[in-house]
Amino acid sequence: MIQSTKPDLALVDIGPPQMNGYEIARRVRESGCTTCLAAITGFESPEDHERSREAGFDHHFVKPIDPGTLDRLVLGTLGQCA
């Protein structure tokens, strides 16, 4: 769906039942899609942040995400995206 609609931003859960978020990010990036990808997860170690970056995510947020941070993300004021 991300590849076909090309939204400005996609919030992607790392642990959905059918396909993990890392694989979703890899597929989106392999397709050439430059949508800003934000991982939303319960995993917060430095290794988890690195794994999400390597998969193609632009941002990594640990649940629950702060509403102000989400506002800044949606408004595009949190930094660069792909």
The full set of domain ranges for the chain reads 2-74
The band of 82, judged by pLDDT with boundaries at 50, 70 and 90, is low
Per the CATH hierarchy, to which homologous superfamily does domain 2-74 belong?
Response regulator (3.40.50.2300)
Q: What band does 78 get if pLDDT is binned at 50, 70 and 90?
A: confident
What is the rounded distance in angstroms from the CA atom of residue 20 to the CA atom of residue 43? Answer: 13
pTM of the complete model beyond 0.85:
yes
Residue 35 pLDDT: 93
Burial of 60 from C-beta contacts in 10 A (0-12 / 13-18 / 19+): buried
- What pLDDT does residue 41 have? 95
Q: What is the mean pLDDT of residues 50-74?
A: 94
